[in-house]
Amino acid sequence: MTSEFVIALAGRAVYTTLIVSAPMLILGLVVGLIISIFQATTQIQEQTLAFVPKIVAVLLAVLLFGPWILTTLVDFTYNILNNLYRYIG
């Protein structure tokens, strides 16, 4: 294995992590922003109002995007093992 291969693999791992986590992060951000605007306009400062909808939104995102996330991670793992097999075998 060359250093270029390891650097490319690390870059691909970071990219895959960002792509896989993006739906949950974006949905949590949008819901948090909506709840924050709602709290600012109504002056309701209940802490559970800020956390519970975000948790529910992230859970729904995991359920909705779960098959795509799993497929992406399996493809990434397959590519790692396939490249490793080429270098060993």
Question: Which of the 8 DSSP states describes residue 89?
Answer: -
- Give the pLDDT confidence score for residue 32 in this predicted structure: 93
- Give the pLDDT confidence score for residue 89 in this predicted structure: 64
- Give the pLDDT confidence score for residue 22 in this predicted structure: 96
- Give the pLDDT confidence score for residue 48 in this predicted structure: 80
> DSSP letter string over 30-49?
HHHHHHHHHHHHHT---HHH
pLDDT digits (tens), the chain, 89 positions? 678 888 988 999 999 999 999 999 999 999 999 999 998 898 888 878 888 999 999 999 999 999 999 999 999 999 999 988 877 76
